[in-house]
Amino acid sequence: MGKTIIISNRLPIQLQISNGNIDAIPSVGGLATGMKSVHSGNESLWVGWSGLTQEDTPPELEKDIDEALEKNGCAKVNLSAEEVEGFYFGFSNRTIWPLFHYFLEYSEFELDFWNTYREVNRKFADAIIEKSSEDDVIWVHDYQLMLVPQMVREKRPNTSIGFFLHIPFPSYEIFRTLPWREEVLQGLLGSDLIGFHTYDYERHFLSSVRRLLGLEVSFNDIYLDNRVIKVDSFPMGIDYKKFKTAAQDHEQNKNTHKSDLQKRLDSHKASAPDTKLILSIDRLDYSKGIAKRINAFEYFLNKYPEYKEKVRLIILAVPSRSNVPQYQLLKREIDELVGRINGELATVNWTPIWYFYRSLPFENLIDLYTSSDIAWLTPLRDGMNLVAKEYIATRTDKTGVLILSEMAGSAYEMNEALLINPNNFEEQADTLKRAITMPEEEQKSRNTFLQNRLERYNVEVWANEFMNALKQKKEGGDDFISQ
């Protein structure tokens, strides 16, 4: 086998140009942060969009941009502003993202979006063909590139192609509403192996293949012409060691080096030692249930007023897809909610919600994870949710309580967390109370199980399991059915 070609819309770094200089900033989101840990510049090449449009790229900087990417083991696919609009903001994030997260009413079925999606997928497929050789292994990622496997297969019939979906695959009843449903399935079926985070997403996909394409499906094998396509679930892990070590270093250096954020967190602790810090971190996305969480927090404070001045909710929302109208509306809704609740409930000594709308450096994420007594993550739908895993990994003394929505893929592996239905305010209020009052011994016992599992099924194991399954498929010779 040759090298691995990773292909995704988002690269691990985003390029920006300011005053004629190229800045590389780390990408946010589970795909980029997870894959970054398994991408090694020597053995794999990562092909994707740099974050700059062709119009934003001065021709004299082209060479420097390529070099900046090359240093990180990456190569770019150039996209024009119009392509980004129709492919990324359009079909990917106004059609597929809402549909696959069960926000059917937000999903827009626009022929122009679809046409651009197809053209841009073709561009990615062409880039793969250009940058890889026959014996390389192609690993395509996520919902932005679902047509790529088949487009590559047409030109490279014998190449090993894997596809991994980082978001949920919805039930057949939802998926069938997509006007281009057959084309999307056929695009994915260009792969040899298709991976999902959970068994449920896998089951939904197989059911759509059977019912919409009428193909023979046996257990998790799909029979198409003379090929067998394998489908399986691979729950993505985190770089456990990186988070654990960062938290240990943070603890060791606490007397010599402190970020401004950590100083603020410490002074809060010193002035109100009994106040519990509740943390939530998400991209600002309607699927994450941020507005509902804020409403549930207000509900909790009304139901259990004795906790006023005894808890503080920290909301870190990372700007995301801000050209999409639903994200702009959500931003406004959250601003208003936080303003209203803080205005109504704050006292001289207490602001109930600290709200940050920005991306933070890794060091500050660790400050927040390690300083918070509770992590409260309430997605209405989430393919996996790595933040839940990262929080647990940083709890070096094993204290801390994780409250997690049962609608997150990670809930399947994190049974020792307090699992909630994010639509049930009564349950959320009671669970918050339970988390606040949970004895340390119980916290430690739950987190011991969670940490052991996260350490074992880390992101490296995840990537190896996927690649081994792809390799076995090739070597096992079950690629072709004898006629």
Out of ligand G6P, ligand ADP, none, what residue 142 binds, judged by CB under 5 to 8 A for its kind, is ligand G6P
- Alpha carbons 322 and 92: distance in angstroms, whole number: 14
- Alpha carbons 208 and 448: distance in angstroms, whole number: 39
Out of ligand G6P, ligand ADP, none, what residue 461 binds, judged by CB under 5 to 8 A for its kind, is none
Q: Which residues pair with 227 in a beta bridge?
A: 224, 480
Q: Which is nearer to ligand G6P, 168 or 190 (CB)?
A: 168
Q: Does 96 bind ligand G6P (CB under 6 A)?
A: no
**Angle between the 260-271 and 362-371 helix axes, to the nearest 10 degrees?**
10
Q: Which is nearer to ligand G6P, 124 or 300 (CB)?
A: 124
Q: What stretch of H or E contains 206?
A: helix 199-208
- Three-state SS for 249-309 is HHHHCCCCCCCHHHHHHHHHHHHCCCCEEEEEEEECCHHHCHHHHHHHHHHHHHHCHHHCC
Helix runs in 24-134, H state only: 30-36, 62-71, 81-83, 97-100, 111-131
Q: Does 35 bind ligand ADP (CB under 6 A)?
A: no
- Region from 26-34, 255-263, 301-309, 469-477 binding ligand G6P, contact rule CB under 6 A: 26-34
* CB of 282 closer than 8 Å to CB of 317: yes
- Alpha carbons 455 and 81: distance in angstroms, whole number: 42
Q: What stretch of H or E contains 6?
A: strand 4-10
Q: Does 209 bind ligand ADP (CB under 6 A)?
A: no
Q: What stretch of H or E contains 200?
A: helix 199-208
Q: Which of 30, 48, 162, 170 binds ligand ADP (CB under 6 A)?
A: 30
Q: Which of 3, 17, 29, 217 binds ligand G6P (CB under 6 A)?
A: 29
How far apart are CB 408 and ligand ADP at their closest, in Å?
8
How far apart are CB 380 and ligand G6P at their closest, in Å?
15
User: Which of 39, 395, 400, 198 lies closest to 13, judged by CA?
Assistant: 39
Q: Which residue is nearest to ligand G6P (CB)?
A: 29
Q: What stretch of H or E contains 22?
A: strand 21-26
How far apart are CB 87 and ligand ADP at their closest, in Å?
19
Q: Does 321 bind ligand G6P (CB under 6 A)?
A: yes
Q: Which is nearer to ligand G6P, 166 or 293 (CB)?
A: 166
Q: Does 450 bind ligand ADP (CB under 6 A)?
A: no
Q: Which residues pair with 74 in a beta bridge?
A: 46
Q: Which residues pair with 10 in a beta bridge?
A: 49
- Region from 25-33, 127-135, 332-340, 444-452 binding ligand G6P, contact rule CB under 6 A: 25-33
Q: Does 287 bind ligand G6P (CB under 6 A)?
A: no
Residue with tokens 């006023």: 308
Q: Does 30 bind ligand G6P (CB under 6 A)?
A: yes
Q: Does 385 bind ligand ADP (CB under 6 A)?
A: yes
- In eight-state DSSP terms, residue 217 is E
Out of ligand G6P, ligand ADP, none, what residue 10 binds, judged by CB under 5 to 8 A for its kind, is ligand G6P
Out of ligand G6P, ligand ADP, none, what residue 413 binds, judged by CB under 5 to 8 A for its kind, is none
Q: Interaction with ligand G6P in 125-154: which residues (CB under 6 A)? A: 142
Q: Which of 44, 186, 359, 394 binds ligand ADP (CB under 6 A)?
A: 359
Q: Which is nearer to ligand G6P, 167 or 432 (CB)?
A: 167
Q: Which of 74, 137, 231, 384 binds ligand ADP (CB under 6 A)?
A: 384
How far apart are CB 320 and ligand G6P at their closest, in Å?
5
Handedness of CA 81, 87, 89, 90 (dihedral sign): positive
Rounded to the nearest 5 percent, the helix, strand and coil shares of the chain are 50, 20, 30
Q: Which residue is nearest to ligand ADP (CB)?
A: 30
The residue ranges that bind ligand G6P (CB under 6 A) are 10, 29-32, 142, 166-167, 320-321
The residue ranges that bind ligand ADP (CB under 6 A) are 28-30, 33, 281, 283, 316, 318, 359-360, 365, 384-387, 390
